[in-house]
Structure formats: structure tokens, C-alpha cells
A and B are shown apart, each in its own frame.
Chain A
Amino acid sequence: MTLKVDNLQVWYRTMRGDVQALDGVSFSVGDGELVGLAGESGCGKSTLGKSLVRLDGRMRHVGGTVELDGKELPIGDSERMHGFRFKEVSIIPQYAMSAMNPTRRIGRMVAELLESRGVRFDGIRDELLRRLELVGLDPEVLDRYPIELSGGMKQRMVMVISTLLNPSLLVADEVTSALDVSNQKAVAEALVDFRDRDYVKSTILITHDLSLAYQVADSIIVMYAGKLAEKAPTDSLVTAPRHPYTRMLIGALPEVGVRYDTRRLTGIPGSPPSLLDPPTGCRFRDRCPLAFDKCVEQPPFLEVAPDHAVACWKAS
């Protein structure tokens, strides 16, 4: 078991009170597993990804634990996390396109980054060149400034840098969202490649696009309003979803071949609750067609089949 998250709570401090962005999340990721973490904006998926690597100033670790390879990650303590970041846990941030220092040639920036972590650039240079080739980048990009690269190239460059020290866990936050479809496919498949070559042990791929997660992930977690709704192996989640939210979300996706005049899709009425003062019980119940009396109590996140967990009273 590479990663074990237990009842994790991370809140945001705001002027109007605490936003309970991540409220009691538990799951685990196995060795070599590529997990897709899907959900709509504001569901807490990026907060979860960031919590595993670096809490920003507004985020507060309220409760719960994270264990990586049997050691507890001190996620609330930025100083102690410093020893884990880049080497054990690494992230391709959502802003990867602008993550590189614009005033340095890329090669020099990578060298400085490595030296700040006590790693000699010369010793790793050959490996770096091998990996650049693998993602289709010419070695000469190291002599260029970030502004000279296209969006897809920058994304792949950051991906190579983030994984250079073979971290145990990689968090890839919306790495394909800003890319064209052909680049999207290349980047998503490079993530699989990196896992297959053991550059990273396990990967969490955060995305708003369920169909992208379906292409490359071994299992998928669906989040809703700060909680996990469902986690299942990819095929079961897409073909036999158990949570009403997952079902409606899949039903709302237009696919190639589905046409308005032959099969009209429906969205999900309503909008997610505010996490400033979240309602008790199931957070989806206002929008759920199956809601009944019991939904005023929070349903537990329970396994209903092997590796298939759902937080819904109607699912078990």
C-alpha cells in the first residue's frame, strides 16, 4: 500500500469563516496504481491533491492522517514536508504552463533546482535526456527559455522535472485541461508510461473530465462537495456506477455519436451546497432523485463490492 489517507480534513480560512473543502476523506492507492480523481469545480479535488504535497497559506490541516510507504506524512508542517517533497511526493501543478522560471534557461533552472535539493545535476543529466526523448522533446529545449516552448511542450517539460527524482507518489493536477486533444492524449499516455517504467510508483490524476480518466486510470474516485462519493475500478465505475451523482454525471456527458435530436441528455438540476456552512447528512440530497428520510444522516463510505466503495444509503 503506497498511500493511505484516513479521515483527512482540510479547511480554508476566509473572512466569512472556514470553508470545509475537504471533510473526512479516506482512501488508499496501491503500488503502481494510477487513480483518476474526478469531480466538478469546487468539489475539493485540487485541495486534496495539494494537501498531499503542500498546504498553501490559507489551508489548514484540521484532522486525519496521510501515510506514504508506511511513514506518516507531516502534511500540516511545511518545514518537515520539505524533506519529502520532490523526492517522495511530487506534483505537476495546475499552473504548470507558468511554473518554470521565465528568467532562466530551462537547463540551468533544472540544475539549480536539483542542487537546492542536494542532488548533482551532472549525475542525473543522462537520465534527464533519456526522459526528454521519451516524451518527444529535443535535448536542445534545455538551452531555451520557457517562453520559447508551446503549451504542450511546457506541460511535458514540467512533467519530466516533477518526476526526475522518482517520487513514490505523483499528483497530476488538471495536466491536460489547457491542451488540444492530440497533446492531451500524448500527456495522458506519458503518465501511464512513467508509471510503467517505475519513474513514479503511484499517480493521482486530478481531472474534471471523466472520459479522460477513463482512458488511462486503473481506478476512479468521484468527489462531491468535499467528500468522496464513489471509488471503483475504472470499468465498473463507468459501466455500473452505484452513486446517483456518478450516474447523473455520466448521463450528462455528450459523447461523439450522441445527438440532440435522437437522444436528449439531461443535466443535474440545482448546484452544489456552499462549503462555508455545509448541510448535515448527504450533501447531494437536494439534487438527488432518490433522496429519502435517511439522507439527513451522512452515509458512510462503504465497500459494496470488492474495491468498489460508495457513500449512499441506497447503494448498499
Chain B
Amino acid sequence: MLRLDHVSKSYRVGTFGGRELAAVRDVSLRVEPGEVVSLIGESGSGKSTIGRMILRLTAVTSGTITFDGTDVAGLTGSRLRAYYGNVQGVFQDPFSCYNPIFKADRVLELLREPYFAGLDGRQWRAKVERALEAVRLDPGQVLGKYPHQLSGGQLQRMLVARALLLDIRLLVADEVISMLDASTRVDVLNLLGDLKARGLGILFITHDLSLGNYISDTAVILHRGEVVETGATDRVFDDPQHPYTRSLLASVPQLHRKWDRDERRLVSEPAGEGGG
């Protein structure tokens, strides 16, 4: 379904754009229907850039991204709109995706004209309710409300519902649960798991290894723009081959397993790396 072949992205940096910063280097990966691929990396690893390139929010420097064999880069007009009917993204911060002046369900309403102009009022309403029920939101409870009247988990699920309205086949989920509380996090994760069972392909972008592990079939570990390890999730987690994956796994705070205190060492890093 989705294929990235040798994709790279570099940015011009420095005062006059004199230096080049490679954000993504030669990344190849695939996402098939009904598959969850987690893209795991620390800040600055290029994981969000990859998601943005798939969604055409950022241009590719070299390499190709294809969806069902069609190069995504060349799409314009109605073909681009058709692409967005198949591929949608949901991002980290559900609060800033809503305009506080309007009711929250406006994010759904805005899809009606470009994609569902043929539906009458009742059909449209039924479609919206089905999408909300699919993400386990009670339409009566969330429709007609303002963003501040809904919780972060509800807002985030409504954005997933918006993507589902379009009967998409691929969802790019970029840190979708980082801002949610522990007690509602797992609900959104389970929801993604259910959608996967219905055939949706998901690219799950995260910095949190335990979340990446919970629902994904394939794990891709990124370090400074490069794929350092990729494989079936349980294999990557049980028997990591690359030293970076190993050190990453050893640093994750887990319940029931304490950090190895012999390994402890305070990291020092060069100044001016940016990040945080």
C-alpha cells in the first residue's frame, strides 16, 4: 500500500542557508493494510518529518513515496484530494487543532462540502454518528459542544473520527497519545488496535517504546534520520541487535523492572545541538 524508497530530506540551515542538515537519510519502509508500523525515535530523529512527507506537508528531497504504486509527490488537484481521501494524519496536540470560537464538530463539518456534497442532511448526520461511534464517542454528548467542554481524550478521538469519515486506508498517527493522561491513553491505543483489525494501515510515530510495542506489528527504530533497526516488533524488543536500540530499551522507565544501576552514567553532549 504505502512505500517509501530511499527517502531523504535535508534542510538548509545557517544564516545564509550555507549548511545542509540531513533530517532524514535514505529511509525505506512499507505499510500494508491492517498493519501497524511504529516509527520510534528520540527528538530530532526525523520521525515527524517522515510523517509530514507522507502527508505532503513537507517536500521530499530525494527518493520516492508511493501509494498503491502512484508517486505521491506529483499529485495535484482532484487526484491530491482523492489521496487525502485515503491517507490522513492525526497529531500530538488535540487542543490546538480546534478553533475555540467554533463548536468542536466543525472539524467534521468542514469535510462535507469537498467530499460529501451529494449527501442530504439526514444521511450526513448518520454518517457522522457512525464515525463517532466507531471511536466510542457518544454523539449526543459531543456534538454541538465547544472544544473547552470536551476532554483531551474526547478531542483526540474526534480527530480520529474525522479521519474515519473519509473511509481512509492509511492513518499517520504522530504522537497521538503523548498529551493524554495515563487513564485515557490506553483507550485511544485500543481504538487504533480495533481499526487495524478492520483493515486500516497505521504508521504510529512515537518516542515512547512501550507504546510502540503495545499495538504494532513492525517496529522501525530511527536515529539521527537513519533507520538503525527494523523488524517484527517482538523480535526487535526481545532481541535488539543495534547498540542504539539496546541503550534506548535500557533507558525506558518501566514498572516492575528497575534501571540497571551499574550501567548508570551521566550523558554529556556537545553544546549547540538544540533539541529538548
Q: Whole-angstrom distance between the alpha carbons of A212 and B237 in the complex?
A: 20
- Please pick, from A152, A190, A208, A271, the residue contacting B269 in the complex, using a CB distance under 8 A: A152
A267: chain B residues within 8 A (beta carbon): 183-187, 190
Q: Does A214 contact B (CB under 8 A)?
A: yes
B272: chain A residues within 8 A (beta carbon): 148-150
Q: Are A255 and B269 neighbours in the complex by a CB distance under 8 Å?
A: no
Q: Are A182 and B271 neighbours in the complex by a CB distance under 8 Å?
A: no
Interface contacts (Cβ under 8 Å), in number, total 154
Shortest beta-carbon distance from B245 to chain A in Å: 12
Q: Which chain A residues numbered 203 to 260 have a C-beta less than 8 Å away from chain B? A: 208-212, 214-215, 238-239, 248-250, 252-260
Q: Which chain A residues numbered 18 to 75 have a C-beta less than 8 Å away from chain B? A: 40-41
Shortest beta-carbon distance from A99 to chain B in Å: 13
Q: Are A255 and B210 neighbours in the complex by a CB distance under 8 Å?
A: yes
Q: Are A136 and B255 neighbours in the complex by a CB distance under 8 Å?
A: no
Q: Are A189 and B266 neighbours in the complex by a CB distance under 8 Å?
A: yes
Q: Does A296 contact B (CB under 8 A)?
A: no
Q: Are B276 and A97 neighbours in the complex by a CB distance under 8 Å?
A: yes
Q: Does A266 contact B (CB under 8 A)?
A: yes
Q: Are A238 and B247 neighbours in the complex by a CB distance under 8 Å?
A: no
Q: Whole-angstrom distance between the alpha carbons of A267 and B266 in the complex?
A: 35
Q: Are A181 and B209 neighbours in the complex by a CB distance under 8 Å?
A: yes
Least CB separation from B264: chain A residue: A189
Q: Are B267 and A182 neighbours in the complex by a CB distance under 8 Å?
A: yes
B11: chain A residues within 8 A (beta carbon): none
Q: Are A185 and B253 neighbours in the complex by a CB distance under 8 Å?
A: yes
Q: Whole-angstrom distance between the alpha carbons of A138 and B270 in the complex?
A: 9
Q: Does B34 contact A (CB under 8 A)?
A: no
Binary B-proximity of A277-292 (CB < 8 A = 1, otherwise 0): 0000000000000000
Q: Does B262 contact A (CB under 8 A)?
A: no
Chain B count of residues within 8 A CB distance of the other chain: 46
Q: Given A180-B207, A184-B253, A265-B190, does the pair A215, B258 have CB atoms closer than 8 Å? A: yes
Q: Whole-angstrom distance between the alpha carbons of A65 and B152 in the complex?
A: 35
Q: Are A138 and B190 neighbours in the complex by a CB distance under 8 Å?
A: no
Binary A-proximity of B191-227 (CB < 8 A = 1, otherwise 0): 0010000000000000101110111000000000000
Q: Are B276 and A154 neighbours in the complex by a CB distance under 8 Å?
A: yes
- Please pick, from A136, A151, A215, the residue contacting B268 in the complex, using a CB distance under 8 A: A136
Q: Does A134 contact B (CB under 8 A)?
A: yes
- Please pick, from B184, B185, B213, B267, the residue contacting A186 in the complex, using a CB distance under 8 A: B267
Q: Does B274 contact A (CB under 8 A)?
A: yes
Q: Does A94 contact B (CB under 8 A)?
A: no
Shortest beta-carbon distance from B235 to chain A in Å: 13
Least CB separation from B193: chain A residue: A260
Q: Whole-angstrom distance between the alpha carbons of A209 and B251 in the complex?
A: 14
Q: Whole-angstrom distance between the alpha carbons of A188 and B253 in the complex?
A: 10
Q: Are A150 and B253 neighbours in the complex by a CB distance under 8 Å?
A: no
Q: Does A81 contact B (CB under 8 A)?
A: no
Add 15 more A-B contacts to A181-B253, A256-B237 (CB < 8 A). Answer: A40-B182, A134-B266, A141-B271, A153-B271, A180-B43, A180-B207, A181-B207, A185-B251, A215-B253, A254-B186, A254-B210, A256-B213, A257-B213, A267-B184, A268-B183
A residues neighboring B (CB under 8 Å)? 40-41, 97, 134-138, 140-141, 144, 148-155, 178-186, 188-190, 208-212, 214-215, 238-239, 248-250, 252-261, 264-268, 271
B residues neighboring A (CB under 8 Å)? 42-43, 151, 181-187, 189-190, 193, 207, 209-211, 213-215, 233-234, 237, 247-249, 251-256, 258-259, 264-269, 271-276
Q: Can you show 20 pairs from A to B with CB atoms below 8 A apart?
A: A40-B182, A138-B271, A141-B271, A150-B269, A181-B251, A185-B251, A185-B259, A188-B253, A189-B259, A214-B255, A238-B256, A252-B182, A253-B182, A253-B210, A254-B186, A256-B213, A258-B210, A259-B233, A260-B193, A267-B190
The 5 lowest CB-CB distance pairs between A and B, nearest first, are A151-B276, A136-B268, A268-B183, A136-B266, A180-B42
